[in-house]
């Protein structure tokens, strides 16, 4: 899939201009206990979430495979570290309090590579950290698949919500999952 980072970001800018809160993911991460000090924004796109997390005082590294998305992120905030790389093979040699996959990241991964994606993210989770992912359901990648991929790399479910606003999960078409080391 080919992206246009500027066009993608313009959608969120238009929402924000109309008064829509586009920072639910950042608020969610900041509400985690304990509050993370460092975050890997995995599949960061144009940096919308990572930039907001940095604005809220967290140390952020953003990574994405798409150069156009990262170009938009670098223009928006050159102070955040942005890395172009495939998450499935990413190894930064460091760990983070939270690794965040917002914006349906597992759904944009080539079919059959989700286990490697989760493994690449998990290798960056600190011993007391967590992996957070929010994605739509019913599009070929299930919560059972995701939980299984997490279990294979030593992560167990901690919390699950229907929205970034922490609405209880009772089925539906979207889930936000928090997994921690077992």
Place of tokens 């609405």: 167
Residue 108 within a domain: yes
Q: What pLDDT, on a 0 to 100 scale, did the predictor assign at position 23?
A: 80
148's enclosing H/E stretch is helix 143-152
Q: What pLDDT, on a 0 to 100 scale, did the predictor assign at position 105?
A: 95
* pTM strictly above 0.85: yes
Residues whose CB is less than 8 angstroms from the CB of residue 11 and which lie 6 or more positions away in sequence, other chains included: none
Residue 175 within a domain: yes
Residue 88 within a domain: yes
Query: In the chain, what is the straight-line distance between the N-terminal and C-terminal CA atoms, in Å?
Result: 35
Residue 158 within a domain: yes
Residue 149 within a domain: yes
Could you tell me the residue range of the domain that residue 61 belongs to?
22-181
Residue 64 within a domain: yes
Q: What pLDDT, on a 0 to 100 scale, did the predictor assign at position 28?
A: 98
**Domains in the chain, number:** 1
pLDDT tens for the 182 residues of the chain, in order: 566 656 766 675 665 677 666 589 999 999 999 999 999 999 999 999 999 999 999 999 999 999 999 999 999 999 999 999 999 999 999 999 999 999 899 999 998 999 999 999 999 999 999 999 999 999 999 999 999 999 999 999 999 999 999 999 999 999 999 999 98
- 14-52 burial code (b ≥16 CB/10 A, e <16): eeeeeeeeebbbbebbbebeeebebbbbbbbbbbbbbbb
Residue 76 within a domain: yes
Residue 48 within a domain: yes
- The CATH code of the domain that includes 132 is 3.40.50.150
Residues whose CB is less than 8 angstroms from the CB of residue 15 and which lie 6 or more positions away in sequence, other chains included: 22
**In what side-by-side order are the strands of the sheet with 38-42?**
81-84, 59-64, 38-42, 96-101, 125-136, 174-181, 155-161
């Amino acid at each position: 899939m080919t992206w246009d980072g500027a066009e993608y970001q313009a959608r969120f800018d238009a929402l924000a201009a109309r008064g829509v809160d586009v920072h639910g993911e950042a608020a969610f991460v900041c509400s985690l206990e304990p509050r993370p000090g460092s975050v890997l924004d995995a599949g960061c796109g144009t940096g919308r979430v990572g930039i907001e997390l940095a604005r809220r005082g967290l140390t952020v590294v953003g990574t994405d495979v798409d150069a156009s998305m990262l170009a938009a992120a670098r223009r928006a905030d050159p102070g955040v570290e942005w890395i172009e790389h495939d998450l499935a093979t990413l190894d930064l040699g460091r760990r983070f309090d939270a690794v965040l996959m917002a914006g349906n990241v597992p759904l944009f991964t080539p079919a059959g590579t989700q286990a490697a994606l989760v493994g690449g993210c998990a290798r960056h989770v600190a011993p007391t950290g967590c992996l957070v992912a929010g994605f739509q359901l019913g599009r070929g990648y299930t919560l059972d698949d995701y939980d299984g991929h997490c279990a294979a790399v030593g992560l167990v479910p901690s919390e699950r919500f229907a929205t970034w606003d922490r609405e209880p999960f009772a089925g539906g078409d979207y889930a936000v999952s928090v997994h921690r080391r077992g």
